[in-house]
Amino acid sequence: MPINTTLTRLALGSAVMLTAMGSAQAQDDDVKIGFIVKQPEQAWFINEQRAATERGEELGFSVVRLGGRDGQEVLSAIDNLYSQGAQGFVICPPDVRLGPAIMNRANQYDMKVITVDDQFVDSSGEPLEGVPHLGMSGTKIGLQVGEAIAAEMEARGWDPQEVGALRITNNELPTAVERTDGATQALLEWGFPEDNIFDAPQQSTDTSGAFSAASPVLSQRGDFEHWIIYALNEESVLGGVRATEQYGLAADNVIGVGINGSGAAFAEFSRDNPTGFHGTVAVSSTMHGRQTAEDLYHWITEGEEPPANTETSGTLMTRDNWQDVRQELGL
């Protein structure tokens, strides 16, 4: 074969290879994912979406941040993502029972899905198979809350028989049930009387919803001078604390411990005078955002499916150590 012909073929082969490599690189560069959260105004989700965006900038993919406060808004968000060419999305759903409907829409568009914080369930209430999830172990986090409350009661010398427990509940959300059940378990094992635990069902998982739920319970149980408060998250615990303040209880008669480690807790710890909000079990929303976005990116570009279920742990954050914990967890 003439040398010129050989060189021509080699050149053509190299060009084809370079073109293929360029196309693959372009495909990676064009990766776009969505990050849908149920309450985009909450500090936890703000941090989570921001961290996902920053990870995208580091690895070379873009993140579209959207809110999904109800089922219709989530489906509209998915349509929006499809129209923008997104190949998948991370979601914290407004209702975990919406999983099958959300996955049906995602599958129509051939989108990959990872859930964060709250996990999809099927019609029987079991985790929906085939959807990777990253979140906290609700029970373990709840146990940490209960143990922290028990330790503080013991440090203050409180007689548990004379303490009321305000358990702010949301039985529609499995994650919430796991957390409050875990805290209750730890308290009962410590010796707290079950008859002193009073439920306050909340309509919304925020401070105002918890305030509305807690106020009538406190009014009906005026025989307790000391109160402990636990719930799904720190916003709800803060709602309970605000209710005790309106009721006239002094801060040193209240021990509230939340879950998350967000701006709501930071603001409370920064107050000149301590309140009944004793602490929160901090979990890195930053890590949740970064990790799920990265996992989805690798799944899209390399076919590397994330683990079925990844659980993270928490660290007790109080007025004394919140700055150190915040720095350690990157909050």
Share of the chain above pLDDT 90, in %: 80
pLDDT at 17 over 80: no
**Amino acid 29: pLDDT:** 55
pLDDT at 231 over 60: yes
CB within 8 Å of 226: residues ≥ 6 apart? 158, 162, 163, 164, 253, 254, 255
Nearest to 38 by CA among 168, 138, 211, 173: 173
Summary mean pLDDT of the chain: 90
**Same fold yes or no, 32-131+285-311 and 138-282:** yes
Nearest to 275 by CA among 296, 260, 257, 288: 257
Q: Which residue has the higher pLDDT, 183 or 284?
A: 183
pTM (two decimals): 0.70
Structure letter (DSSP) for residue 96 = G
**Amino acid 108: pLDDT:** 98
- Any idea where the domains of the chain sit in the sequence? 32-131+285-311, 138-282
At 277, list the tokens: 């909000």
**Amino acid 4: pLDDT:** 40
pLDDT at 23 over 50: no
Instruction: Return the residue matching tokens 């720190």.
Output: 234
Share of the chain above pLDDT 70, in %: 91
Q: How far apart are CA 275 and CA 34, in angstroms?
A: 38
Find out if CATH 3.40.50.2300 is the number for domain 138-282.
Answer: yes
Residue range 226-234: average pLDDT? 96
- Three-state secondary-structure class, residue 194: helix
Residue range 175-188: average pLDDT? 95
Per-residue pLDDT band at 290 (split at 50, 70, 90): very high
Nearest to 183 by CA among 220, 236, 251, 115: 236
Per-residue pLDDT band at 127 (split at 50, 70, 90): very high
**Amino acid 11: pLDDT:** 37
CATH homologous superfamily, domain 32-131+285-311: Response regulator (3.40.50.2300)
Q: Give residue-wise pLDDT tens across range 90-111.
A: 999 999 999 999 999 999 999 9
**Amino acid 313: pLDDT:** 80
Question: Minimum mean pLDDT among 102-116, 179-193, 256-270, 290-304: which range?
Answer: 256-270
Q: Give residue-wise pLDDT tens across range 171-181.
A: 988 889 999 99
